[in-house]
Amino acid sequence: DYVWLPILEACLPDCGWKGVSWDKAASLIDRFTGNFSVFTRVEKVSADYEEYARENPLIVGREWLTVHFKYLEEYGDQVFDMACQMLSKVDFSDLERIKTLVTGLRSSIENKLVPYALRYAGVRSRRKLSRYNAVMELVDGLSSVANIGRISRMDPGEIAENLRRIYRKIFSSGAVFHVTADRKGCSKARIQFEKFARELKLKLMPTRPQDYVQRFCSELKLTGEVQSKATD
C-alpha cells in the first residue's frame, strides 16, 4: 500500500468530494485558505530523541499522511467545516480528474529525474539500511517513479478503488492535531477541532506495528538493463 501514497497525496485534495466538483472545491479552498495540501511525512528519529521516541510510541517513529492548511482566524469555522466535508465525503468518483492528476504527477516526477539524479541515486543506495530509508525509497525514490508510471497506465476505476481502500485504512487508524497560532488562535482552534473530531469520529492512533526493513525489500526491486558505454 505504501506505493500508493504519492497517488493519494495528489488526488485527495484535488478531486472534490460527494456533491462538490473538483473545480468548485478548488474555489472554496482558494477563498478560505492560504494553503491546503496533503503530503506523506517520513522522518527518522535521531539519536538525541530515542528516549523521547520510547516515551511517545504512538506518535514518534511512524509515517503520517498529513492534511495541512493555513487560514485567517475569522475563517476558522468555514475552513474546519470544509475540511470535515472533504475528509468525510471524498469518494474518488471523478475518474477523468483522477486520470489527469496521476498523469500530471507522472510527468512532474519524470522531469525531476535528470536534475535530481544524484539525490535519487543517494536515496536508492541507502534503501536497505533502515525502515526510514526503505520507506523513503518507496514514496520518494526511483521505486516511486517506477510505481507511479505503472499506476498511471492502470484503468482509472481500478486506481479509484485502490485509493478508496487505502484511504479508509489510513482514516480509521487514528489522528493527531497540531496547530500553530497565538494564544487566542489556539483557544479557538481547540474548540473548532473538538467539533471537527466528533463529526469525523476521529480516534487515537493504535500502537505502531513492528515492521522491519525486510518487509519492504520485495517492493524495492526494479527491472531494467544496466548499460555502459566506452568513451575515448
Q: Regarding beta strands 35-41 and 64-70, do their DSSP bridges make them parallel or antiparallel, or are they unpaired?
A: antiparallel
Tens of pLDDT, residues 54-79? 888 788 878 899 999 999 999 999 99
**Amino acid (one-letter) located at 138:** L
Which pairs from 151-155 meet CB under 8 Å and 24+ separation? 151/3, 151/4, 151/7, 151/102, 152/102, 152/103, 152/105, 152/106
Asked if residue 128 lies in contact with residue 42, where contact means CB atoms within 8 angstroms, the answer is: no
| Per-residue pLDDT, 232 | 43
Q: What pLDDT does 18 receive? A: 92
Q: pTM (2 decimals)?
A: 0.86
Whether 212 has a pLDDT exceeding 70, the answer reads: no
Cell reading at 156:
482509472
